[in-house]
Structure 1
Amino acid sequence: MTSLHNLMSMTDRVVLVTGGAGHIGRAISAGLGELGASICLVDRSQPALDDARRELQTETPDLRVETLCIDLENETQRVGMVEAVTEKFGRLDVLVNNAGFVGDSTLSGWAVPFEQQSIATWRRAVEVNLTAAFHLCQVLAPLLRSSSHGAIINVSSIYGNVGPDMSLYDGTAMGNPAAYAASKGGMVQLTRWLSTVLAPDIRVNCVSPGGVARGQPAAFAERYVARTPLGRMGHEDDFKGAIAYFASDLSGWVTGQNLMVDGGWTAW
């Protein structure tokens, strides 16, 4: 019988994490690195990638971390990742589509009432949050197929599964754009579609995070927490276990699933 220790081991496996320089990207990369994986961080800022690599290697000195500075809105750059990963590692075992177009209150046509949300910004969000994930799964599938442990993990959101409670945003500059919800909802269904099409060579699963505490306005945070059964917003470390489960052989007979990691937000 295989031990849990061996099932969770990621030794000699290569994991590519998009949005790798971000808060969640760093946390899940650290978790997989602790299990023995080599990590390829993908993001659009080389200084941010360099900082993430230093942080990860400070925590785990033996961890191999490579970086790829890629704009996921650029189709040509996405295609180029195949050659880059092959040159750096010679293989790929796990793809984590973690990057997200989340915008902010200064982005035109984003955190505004529905009637004012812009088509141009919608297109950018869908390109990064959904089209890029589809494309990376497509171009990297041959590498993943040649691994005996190929896995794809898509990162969606609670808002890819349920509608927003707009009263949470009253009195703040925050918003909840349709493009974010639609693109993240697409990730959930893309997961199901890929799980049957890429089987049995590649397992495909999804994680849907709830809200993460990042200095949001106090009024929003208080309302959010009051609506969350576990009584707090999320932290980056809350997602390490879910990603490690889907990336490792702990979930060797699991595909097509969407795991809500949201403190119970969607249980009401």
Structure 2
Amino acid sequence: MSHFPQMPDLSGKTVLVTGGAGILGQHFCRGFISAGARVGLLDLDANACAVAAEEIGQGAFGVGCDISDPASVKSAMEACLTITGRVDVLVNNAASKSRDVRAFFASFEEYELEIWRDVMSVNVDGMFLMSQAMSKQLLTQGQGGSVINLASIYGLVGPDPRIYEGSNYLGGPINTPAVYSASKAAVVGLTKWLATHWGPHNIRANCLVPGGVSSGQNGIFQEKYADRVPMNRMAEANEIVGPAVFLASDVSSYITGQILAVDGGWTAW
């Protein structure tokens, strides 16, 4: 008789989540724990990681990590292995708006190369470094694994500037800068490359593409964004979690190199 897994089950697996202390990251961590996994929160602020892990509860632990720094990535991976003995799933969730948020939202014509490089160092370089470190460990373990890279709808399509007219977030006007789209498009390309590279080793790489998540944007933005989405609303953070748990689990054992858009239909227009 054939065996069909009924629900995603991560029992006995260790999942590492970069940007784990962030809003979306903590949602991911809770989802993985509810599926039976042990979860490591990796984030720039070690104290924030520890606090978030304690709030999430049993099964969560925090490790400080600057994913743009090779030495920090190596140290964090060693720390995780000391705690758990093995790793099975990596969620490359961390992303940056740079150290100067207002400069991050500057116009394309005035955009500073320093800000561009700062964002790329996390969104692309950091994903490369974490995937590389994870690869070495998964190949050593020899039992396969899953890597989930977080992109964005703006890595697939260009932004609609009309939704930003009169919009406000983080204390000022916003847009989607070119560096964000370029970095997220790079995530898509990296995912496909990793899938073909790791395929013979049963290590899967998939790309999760969230649409806009409601997280404090002003009403004007939310209304204009909703008008652009077939489902007529922004996503709630917990709606991104289920697809991530699915891609982490053996339920998706024959899925690799895929781009899963969780966007309410935004990219279907």
TM-score, normalized by length of structure 1? 0.93
Secondary structure of the structure 2 residue equivalent to 1:199: helix
Q: How does 1:176-195 map to 2 (within 5 A)?
A: 176-195=176-195
Q: Deviation of residue 175 (structure 1)?
A: 1.6
Q: Partner of 2:92 in structure 1?
A: 97
Which of the numbers 107, 111, 115 marks the counterpart of 1:113? 107
Matched positions, count: 261
CA distance in 2, matches of 1:98, 1:147: 24
8 Å Cα contact 2:97-2:119 kept in structure 1: yes
Structure 1 position 209 matched with structure 2 position 207: no
Which stretch of structure 1 is more off in the superposition, 142-151 or 126-135? Answer: 142-151
CA contact (8 A) 1:92 1:144 kept: yes
User: Over the residues paired in the alignment, what is the CA RMSD in angstroms?
Assistant: 1.5
Identical positions, percent = 38
User: Which amino acid in 1 is paired with 2:3?
Assistant: T
Runs of 4+ off more than 3 Å: none
Amino acid of the structure 2 residue aligned with 1:112: A
Instruction: Tell me by how many angstroms 1:70 deviates.
Output: 1.2
Alignment of 1:57-96 (within 5 A): 57=57, 63-96=58-91
Q: CA deviation at 1:147?
A: 5.0
Q: Pick from 149, 156, 161 the counterpart of residue 154 of structure 1.
A: 149
* Cα distance change on mapping 1:11 and 1:178 into 2, 3 Å: same
One-letter code aligned to 2:179: A
Offset from partner CA, 1:19-58 (integer Å, 9 cap, x none): 001111111111111111000100112332233212311x
Alpha-carbon distance change, 231 to 103 in structure 1, aligned in 2, over 3 angstroms: farther
Q: Which amino acid aligns with 1:130?
A: V
Aligned to 2:170: none
- Which structure 2 segments of 5+ residues have no match? 168-172
What TM-score do you get using the length of structure 2 for normalisation?
0.92
Partner Cα distance (2:90, 2:27) in 1: 15
Question: Partner of 1:60 in structure 2?
Answer: none
Match of 2:136, SS state, is helix
What letter matches 1:151 in structure 2?
S
Unaligned segments of structure 1, at least 5 residues: 58-62
Number of the residue aligned with 1:143: 137
Moved more, 67-76 or 37-46: 67-76
CA distance in 1 between counterparts of 2:3 and 2:23 reads 33
Deviations 1:132-185, CA, capped at 9 Å, x for gaps? 111111122122232524110000001111001111111331121111110111
Say which SS state the counterpart of residue 100 (structure 1) adopts.
coil
